[in-house]
Structure 1
Amino acid sequence: MGELRSIAAPFVVSGPAGVAVRTRLKQLTPGDEKVLRLVGGHLGSLASRDLKARCRDGLEYSGQAWAVRKRELTPASSSRWAGSITKATHDQWALARRCQLAHIQNLEAGIRAIEDRLALPVGERGTKRAPGGYRSRREWHAKSRRLRVLRDRLAAARADRDAGIVHVVRGGKRLARTRHHLETAQLTESAWRGRWEAERWFCQADGESGKRYGNETIRVSPDGQVSIKLPAPLAHLANAPHGRYVLAGRVAFAHRGTEWADRVAANRAIAYRIHHDTGRDRWYVTASWQIPPTPTLPIEVALAHGVIGVDMNADHLAAWRLDVRGNPTGSPRRFSYDLTGPAGHRDAQVRHALTRLLHWAKTCGVRAIAVEDLDFAAEKTREKHGRRTRFRQLLSGMPTGRLRARLASMADQTGIAIIAVDPAYTSRWGAQHWQKPLTKTTRQTTRHDAAAVAIGRRAQQHPIRRRTTPPPPHRRDAVGHRTAQAGSGVAGREGTRPRIPGPRTRSVRAGCGANAGNQNAQHRPGRSAEHETWQQDSLPLSL
């Protein structure tokens, strides 16, 4: 058996640093939609031009170059529009650099996996911890060729990173490639063109503290009136003073509407983004602002009322409540979700499952939820699991990052702390030590339920292994069982059971009765019922 890796200590996850709420723009006139399309298309072309200039600069970036780009965009838009465009460009370039690094790490992991398997004899069986050799010479030869391909890709990716070159597609690479497979995507050319243009539009503005309603470019008044500062080439379309265009419809934010109204009344910064959903043919406005991070509770305070351990799976969340000593109480709970379909449906399913989980936690009076600090970045590589394509698709489909971000954001409003634990061996050790003991005739404990118990105990810094039951002196458990977690201050918790002489029946208590101390008086195997030896008398002669 190989050496176990070290287990990281659990920690309390910090709360969100920002808020984003969305609502629909209703009752828009055809003129309103025309103006929104013109503004989005014009600013989108400026954003594309600015992104090209930023990619051309590469690693030779400086604040002075940023100022030059902003001055070039100002005559074609405005100073505030130019600031929003250059900031969004910088964020997009930084995201592309992070994705480039993740791609390099993925290639390195695949190369290491292929090299390890090519070094083994063909047909050698693998173990649970390491894969074996390839099945045949044909597969070995194919993988050796793939190794050269991956090395070439890695060399090219490293060269681009060293030179500061990134590959970015405004509108998305997937949608750009869909243009060549319209029949497979069940799209017409005009429908694809509409989606492509809508994705490349730019209509978002950063907030400014102290300005009227928190934003001078896209302004939403307390009564829901939306107005836009038009770029300079489109100023002739204004229907309000100072080159502004006021939309006919009004908006209202249902979620966090009170917080939004307070910020608007105090003229605090609020950023807005207007976008078009071509699938539903609807317009939306998203408001976002920063919030001060919630002070993180000490882990001891968060665990004062127990914890709920949660094991995340491909189609459900398995949860179990643990008391302060690490003992599972009650019955396990399962919160299912369906991750098939479009992204909006998947996101709604995750939110609904987390909402039910948080409601149950509040009902139980628990102030902490323990989850695994999962990161499948190194596990999704094609070479990690070989032919197990379904398992690779399963890992790729698990929304670990989105679920962790959603849970931290939603729990922050309910006062429940999120504790992240090391995911090493939780499923294996949970099934080994907890699945069978927690299974009853009326309840079938699954491997995922046992993993939830292991996660909760690790958050409480208890060992996952259950306490070993001492050999019982009899079948009944009259003196109490020892498999539960005892407190550290309980005297004699590690001692042996006291030896109490006497019968073990329900009618006579232990240590009582006429023959309490005489074991020979008890009818047990290997014991005689009399003190003296027994002999059979000889038969009488008269018989």
Structure 2
Amino acid sequence: MVLVGWGEQVFRAGLKGRGCGVDEGLRELAAPFVVPDPSGVAIRTRLKQLTAVDEEVLRRVGAHLGTLASGDLKARCHDGLAHDAEAWATRKRELTPLSSARWAGAITRATHEQWALARRCALAHLQSLQAGVHALRHRLSLPLGQKGSKRAPGGYRSRREWHAKARRLRVLEDRLARERAAWQAGRVHVVRGGKRLARMRHQLPAAQLTELQWRARWEAARWFLRADGESGKRYGNETIRIGPDGEVSIRLPAPLAGLANAPHGRYVLTGRVRFAHRGTEWADRVAVNRAIAYRIHHDPVRGRWYVTASWQTPASPAVPLAAALGHGVIGVDTNADHLATWRLDVHGNPTGNPRRFPYDLSGTTGHRDAQLRHALTRLLHWARTCGVRAIAVEDLDFTAEKTREKHGGRKQFRRLVSGLPTGRLRARLTSMADAMGLTVVAVDPAYTSKWGAQHWQKPLTSKNRRITRHDAASIAIGRRAQGHPLRRRTTPPRAHRSDVHGHRIVQAGGDAPGREGPRRRLPGPRTRSVPPDAERTRATRTPTTVRGVRGEQEWVPDSLLLTD
């Protein structure tokens, strides 16, 4: 089964949220732009050689601060849209005696970010419900069996299906009314620890978990061990401090100060940490006391503790688009199981052969993330080998109109779209490309697969090379990033390829130098051509057979050779 490039297919399905009406005309294309560099860095390593006392201290600190974070989140959700800076300061003052000023600041900031994220998710859900209601109303208004157009769905196939969709429309309208009222009132739904894990409690046999295993995961997800960095402080953080030698010390909350094993109410862990990835950058920041935020979390499945260090990077000036494309570009067409790429020169011509970088998005989240990083690593190394400084990708956004009402019974397509990690793919590519000195250029995904297959697939296909629709789409993406049209140059009419009345053999003589036409070869030792006035007889040529070859000496009778 041949799958259409999902960027183009989703665009044609209307997932971009723009130009998805029933108008058959082409919409205006957005100009390509350089994707901004990442604004932060996050690295993770494992906490090793921890004793039982160390783990017990981490558990008690995480549980205590997690309880405070849950209460603060409840207060923030209660305030809703009426929340202001004074309410924020009040919450922080209430948390300070139970922890510390810095712990209270980290908790209130994390609470505000979580509320804002829930607010954005509520808006996305509201837009999804509106799109579903609009699609159902449109299809229910059409006669039964009416065929749809290329961009708009038709009517339902039977009366039974029409009745079922009418009932679902009423359900979605009621749900939309509730969500709209909640949005206007500022109410959000947040679960500390995750809604998925909370629902798993009622399906333990299906999840193959015992109650104790689920309880361990639930408690670990609700712990809070995160501290914000401070510039100018020792090693960039006063709450969770990691020195250049890897020593980890934690400032204990006030109720747990009795567990300290170091001065000033601090607890020093037995194990040491070392950051392998970007370790040099981390050490440079620690040496000059630059701000570094830390987060300690526990994986109950593996029984391991991890620490994540993160910091902000200064905003670098954006590379001009013309400078990024000065050495050509590599067009990348993202698909469900591979990246189809092709290198283009500065004139927009594909050079070499197409390359594919496969990946497998099945399995766990860690496996999918590893597959993406492996494919992107090979892509970036190939780009550096080619000497290209820019990579062109589609500006995909699958945050709107991913409803089953719009796509009908296309379950495989809906499953494909829902499983594509577009946000993570773009974030990974931007971060990894910035580390390797490459630039990412985003282009409009409209018609890339369709026009690429129409204008580039057949001309580039040969007996020894088979070009797919995805390979042709990568050429279209690269040419759009360079500002070239996606169509190939039109072949001139036959009359314009030479003189209308034939070749230019009448403009000069046959022996004239520089003549534009087939020249006559003069007779010579290596040709059988003869002048036009020569007789066509065998006497004019030397026979090539032995019998016909004449000797150079004249024949003399033997009687004349005898002498006395």
Instruction: State the TM-score, normalizing by the size of structure 2.
Output: 0.85
State the distance in 2 between where 1:99 and 1:379 align.
14
Report the AA paired with residue 325 of structure 2. Answer: L
The alignment partner of 2:95 has SS state of helix
1:349 aligns with 2:371: yes
Q: Which residue of 2 aligns with 1:435?
A: 457
Using the aligned pairs only, state the percent identity: 73
1:513 aligns with 2:519: yes
The alignment partner of 2:97 has SS state of helix
Q: After superposition, give the CA deviation of every residue in 1:311-341 in whole Å (9 maximum; x if it has no partner).
A: 0011111000011111111000101111111
Contact 2:127 2:401 in 1 (8 A): no
State the distance in 1 between where 2:78 and 2:389 align.
50
In the superposition, relative to structure 1, how do residues 2 and 398 fare at CA in structure 2: closer, same or farther (>3 Å)?
same
Q: Which residue of 1 aligns with 2:51?
A: 29
Give 1:279's match in structure 2, choosing from 279, 286, 301: 301
Q: Which residue of 1 aligns with 2:383?
A: 361
Deviation at 1:295, TM superposition (A): 1.4
The alignment partner of 1:429 has SS state of helix
Give 1:250's match in structure 2, choosing from 272, 275, 293: 272
Alignment of 1:313-332 (within 5 A): 313-332=335-354
Where does structure 2 lack aligned partners over 5 or more consecutive residues? Answer: 1-22, 507-514, 522-564
Report the AA paired with residue 467 of structure 1. Answer: R
State the distance in 2 between where 1:471 and 1:309 align.
31
1:169 aligns with 2:197: no
Alignment of 1:46-61 (within 5 A): 46-61=68-83
The alignment partner of 2:96 has SS state of helix
Deviation at 1:287, TM superposition (A): 0.2
Q: Which residue of 2 aligns with 1:519?
A: none
State the distance in 2 between where 1:293 and 1:142 align.
53
State the distance in 2 between where 1:181 and 1:275 align.
25
Give 1:45's match in structure 2, choosing from 35, 60, 67: 67
Alignment of 1:386-535 (within 5 A): 386-471=408-493, 496-497=497-498, 500-501=503-504, 511-514=517-520
The alignment partner of 1:59 has SS state of helix
State the distance in 2 between where 1:294 and 1:254 align.
25
Report the AA paired with residue 511 of structure 1. Answer: G
Q: CA RMSD in A?
A: 1.6
Deviation at 1:502, TM superposition (A): 5.4
Report the AA paired with residue 517 of structure 2. Answer: G
Deviation at 1:513, TM superposition (A): 3.3
Report the AA paired with residue 315 of structure 2. Answer: P
In the superposition, relative to structure 1, how do residues 361 and 497 fare at CA in structure 2: closer, same or farther (>3 Å)?
farther
1:77 aligns with 2:99: yes
State the distance in 2 between where 1:39 and 1:236 align.
12
Deviation at 1:471, TM superposition (A): 4.6
Deviation at 1:379, TM superposition (A): 4.4
Q: Which residue of 2 aligns with 1:212?
A: 234
Larger Rg: 2
Deviation at 1:472, TM superposition (A): 5.0
Give 1:179's match in structure 2, choosing from 193, 201, 215: 201
Q: After superposition, give the CA deviation of every residue in 1:441-477 in whole Å (9 maximum; x if it has no partner).
A: 111111111110000010011110111223557xxxx
Report the AA paired with residue 360 of structure 2. Answer: D
State the distance in 2 between where 1:22 and 1:58 align.
34
The alignment partner of 1:274 has SS state of strand
The alignment partner of 1:21 has SS state of strand
State the distance in 1 between where 2:505 and 2:403 align.
65
Q: Which residue of 2 aligns with 1:300?
A: 322
The alignment partner of 2:298 has SS state of strand
Q: Which residue of 1 aligns with 2:173?
A: 151
Deviation at 1:63, TM superposition (A): 0.7
State the distance in 2 between where 1:158 and 1:92 align.
20
Contact 2:332 2:392 in 1 (8 A): yes
Contact 2:124 2:400 in 1 (8 A): no
The alignment partner of 2:486 has SS state of coil
Deviation at 1:424, TM superposition (A): 0.7
Alignment of 1:205-244 (within 5 A): 205-244=227-266
State the distance in 1 between where 2:42 and 2:479 align.
34
1:113 aligns with 2:119: no
Q: How many residues align?
A: 490
State the distance in 2 between where 1:313 and 1:320 align.
14
The alignment partner of 1:233 has SS state of helix
State the distance in 2 between where 1:351 and 1:37 align.
32
The alignment partner of 1:58 has SS state of helix
Report the AA paired with residue 337 of structure 1. Answer: Y
State the distance in 2 between where 1:196 and 1:384 align.
36
1:65 aligns with 2:71: no
Q: Which has the higher contact order (CA 8 A, sep 6+)?
A: 2
Deviation at 1:134, TM superposition (A): 0.8
Deviation at 1:135, TM superposition (A): 1.1
Report the AA paired with residue 137 of structure 1. Answer: R
Q: After superposition, give the CA deviation of every residue in 1:7-36 in whole Å (9 maximum; x if it has no partner).
A: 000000000000000000000001111111
Q: After superposition, give the CA deviation of every residue in 1:105-161 in whole Å (9 maximum; x if it has no partner).
A: 111111111111111111112222111111111111111111111111111111011
1:9 aligns with 2:12: no
